[in-house]
Structure 1
Amino acid sequence: MLSSLLLLWILLRCADSFSVRVPPGPVVVVRGATALLPCEFEPDLNISQLVVTWQRGEDARVVHSFYYQRDQLERQDSDYKGRTKLNYSELPKGNASLSITNFGLKDAGKYLCTVSNTKGTGKGELQLVYAAVYSEPRLSIHLKSSAVMVQYEMEGYPRPEILWLGSGNQNLTDHQEVSSASDGGLYYLKSYVTQNSAVNLTFTLKNPTAHQELQRHVIFSYDENIQNSSTSVVVLSVLCVILLCSTVLLLWLYCKQR
């Protein structure tokens, strides 16, 4: 009786000491990269009874399963077909980390790693965060009748921090349009400012999730009197044409009277 209680106590202590360890904070993965989901457990060199299951934390979809010393992918969710992999040589060392290729927006979220072997059973949950580096901003300058509009367009994820500064470091941030994320997992951003005189601007974009910061300077000057000069030229040309026509008409009338 005493030996049975001792054995039970030992088993309970072993079960209590068994742990599955995953990163405590979010793991950021860039669009298109291979995501590595770390998961460590109390190792057992004999993996004949090892069971590893990766699932989505939100809806328990099966991402990857391993037991009977091989992958068991019959119940794997279709979104992960051909994209997941365990490092088999690391399993006896207590490493059940999973890799997911071609990471996209729909892959972001919670993942649950459940491990069971002769030493016990445990689970750990981690968070994957999706990010996409913003493309090189495309500059366009639009001249209007009384102003100049400077605009940048780019794609990335998530919504960035935008700042426009004038030559005196005054904040000119005004208009920006951000469309919904596309199927490719990107936001389309259009940001612009309007100036009534010569342009001397600094554009800054920050994407903290992807550890990205872009800064571009725009200097553009134009002659504000061009429009008035052009108008004067047009008016003068019209007057010359009218004068010429009047002269011809007078000559024709004179000749006709003669």
Structure 2
Amino acid sequence: MEDSCSCCRLCHLLSLLLLVQLPNWASTEEFQVLGPPEPIVAVLGGDAILPCIMSPAMDVRNMELRWFRTTLTESVFVYRNQQEQTAEQTAEYAGRTSLVMDLLAHGEAALKIHKVQVSDNGMYNCFFKMGSFFEEASLELRVAGVGSAPQVHIQGLEEDGVRVVCRASGWFPKPQVQWRDLSGKKILAFSEAHTQDADLLFSVEATVVVREASVGNVSCSVLNPVLGQQKAMAIFIPEPFFPQASPWKPAFAVSLTVMGLLLFGAGYFLYREHSVKLRAQQTQKNLRLAKEEDRRIKEQAQKAKDELQAELGKSCPPDLTVSLGGRRPGSPCLLRMCCFSGQRKAAYKAAWRKALLYPDWRKEQFQALSVTLDPGSARGHISISHGNTRLTFEHPGGDDLYSVLGHEGIAAGRWCWEVEIMSGEKGEWALGVCKEDANRAGWYQGLVDKGFWVVRWVETGHFTYVKSDTVVPSEPSKVFWRVGVFLDYSEGDVSFYDMTAGSHMFSFPQAPFSGTLFPYFSVKCGTVSLTICPSESDSLGHPAALHNSCPSLKETLKSSGEGLGSGSEEGEVAPGADSPLLSRDLGAVTP
């Protein structure tokens, strides 16, 4: 019996405990906090209400409620223990916030912000906490303010129109400006600028250029994009304000364009003429420099000859100065002359590379090359005869070149050979050396960069192509009867001498050779005969003597009217008379 009573009392106790815990279990149920789905719009200076709702609905008066901006410490309003906690509130919201108490028992909490400022614009969070469980929601407050009405006035003239300016201030957020004409058609703004003052309110200045007098009135409207409210002002522009259109302006513009084109054309023409003139002046300058250089060389040669003649005159007493024909072998004067000539020759041999005179002495440093023409290399209608040593050609004219190579190739050593030229009035010819693989087909020019080292004779004188843009002319009246070609392969030197006058014609700038070189001969027009003078070396290795097929120096002088003195006799020649130096100088001795 007692046991049954004890069991009954225990059951009643457990039931009582369960009833006591029911409110606690209900209070710890989870909930959600919901904010408004759309931004809340508030007007500057007015009030804004930021509501939050608990779901499911329940009494929130005993909860902790908090509104803050970014973090919990940036509190806008704090409610706890059923009263406002001002100590945790941010200073800028002090005295401007309050809680709407009427709806707390129904699960709704709303914060009211008084005297809304621009700084209140932005995002907020509402925070609900019960016990250890809390929840929050976000909401946006958009602050908007309508400022002053726009002020519109004419600022001045610009670009065939009238500039109109519109100004407004005290707007938030940044306002939109729109220009319209009398018919309501939009006009594009010329410029638009926005600024903010210390209260973060916007001021705007917009300008437009009205170019048509028919527009008449124009209006400027300033719109708040948040509130959708706008303020506008119109202005009437009198027609006299618009510049009068001149019918001459299009014609003037066309005339100016044509004049500009004409000036450009004239400038271009003058530029081309100036360029041509400069090139012609440069060409004349090059020709003048070349002539001066040639004259300087000739003057040096003449000076050397005059000095030698003067020294020879001192060596012979006046009473012994007679013609070569009257001087007997062994004469003291002739012996002194021969001795002096030997000294001169020794000095020449010591520096023969730098000397441009005495080609017959120069031949002692070179080996005579017996050149024969290679008929297999001939190009064009030319005739080869006399044992392949003579080239003859007769042609009325044209642009083609006819050429032939020597049979002997040169890849080393120092060699020389002589060529006799017989040319008509309009004969054109060239001679020298060229590379084995040089292209001689068709019409071509003998250029160094194409493998040719040649001198060429035309009607106005000889010249040579050193480079493709350089021409070295000679005296138009000069005619070469016998030309000597001197080739020093190891030194890269090609020189040409007038063997009749014993003078230097031309030397190419020294440059190393490569491959095999061949004697080169070409003709272009007129009546031309090129004869290679054969040579024979004596036992002492002296310069080669010429065969009868080429005229001797004495025959050449006789044919040109430069005979020896009146007392000369053939066969009675003084020792050393075969020296080119003596033959040139003694021919001028007066009886």
Does the residue aligned with 1:209 lie in a helix, a strand or coil? coil
CA contact (8 A) 2:211 2:242 kept: no
Alignment equivalent of 2:204, drawn from 184, 189, 194: 189
Deviation, structure 1 residue 190: 0.8
CA contact (8 A) 1:44 1:118 kept: no
Structural mapping, 1:89-168, within 5 Å: 89-117=102-130, 121-144=134-157, 147-155=161-169, 156-167=171-182
What whole-Å deviation, never above 9, does each CA across 1:218-253 have from its counterpart, x for those lacking one?
3221425999xxxxxxxxxxxxxxxxxxxxxxxxxx
Q: Which runs of 5+ in 1 are unaligned?
A: 228-258
What whole-Å deviation, never above 9, does each CA across 1:3-43 have from its counterpart, x for those lacking one?
99xx99x9599634x12121122212221111110112244
Greater shift, 89-98 or 198-207, is seen at 198-207
Larger Rg: 2
Aligned length: 219
> What residue in structure 2 maps to residue 219 of structure 1?
236
CA contact (8 A) 1:55 1:61 kept: yes
> What residue in structure 2 maps to residue 233 of structure 1?
none
Alignment equivalent of 2:95, drawn from 82, 98, 101: 82
Partner amino acid, structure 2, of 1:75? E
Structure 1 residues 67 and 28, CA gap change in structure 2 (3 angstroms): same
CA distance in 1, matches of 2:203, 2:130: 48
What whole-Å deviation, never above 9, does each CA across 1:134-169 have from its counterpart, x for those lacking one?
321112223448643222211212222222234563
Deviation, structure 1 residue 196: 4.2
Deviation, structure 1 residue 207: 2.1
Q: Percent identity?
A: 25
CA distance in 1, matches of 2:89, 2:79: 11
Q: Using CA pairs below 8 Å that are at least 6 residues apart, which structure has the higher relative contact order?
A: 1
Deviation, structure 1 residue 46: 7.4
2:188 matches 1:172: yes
2:32 matches 1:15: no
Q: CA RMSD in A?
A: 3.2
Deviation, structure 1 residue 108: 1.4
CA contact (8 A) 2:178 2:186 kept: no
What whole-Å deviation, never above 9, does each CA across 1:175-214 have from its counterpart, x for those lacking one?
11111x2222311111121234534323333322122133
What whole-Å deviation, never above 9, does each CA across 1:87-145 have from its counterpart, x for those lacking one?
22322222210011111121112111111247953211111122211321112223448
CA distance in 2, matches of 1:46, 1:137: 49
CA distance in 2, matches of 1:119, 1:226: 79
Greater shift, 27-36 or 210-219, is seen at 210-219
CA distance in 1, matches of 2:161, 2:57: 69
Greater shift, 121-130 or 169-178, is seen at 169-178
Does the residue aligned with 1:159 lie in a helix, a strand or coil? coil
TM-score by length of 2: 0.34
Q: Which runs of 5+ in 2 are unaligned?
A: 1-16, 245-591
Partner amino acid, structure 1, of 2:193? E
CA distance in 1, matches of 2:60, 2:173: 44
CA distance in 2, matches of 1:191, 1:83: 37
Structure 1 residues 60 and 110, CA gap change in structure 2 (3 angstroms): farther
2:54 matches 1:38: no
CA contact (8 A) 1:19 1:122 kept: yes
CA distance in 2, matches of 1:88, 1:33: 20
CA distance in 2, matches of 1:58, 1:190: 38
Deviation, structure 1 residue 54: 1.0
More strand by share: 1
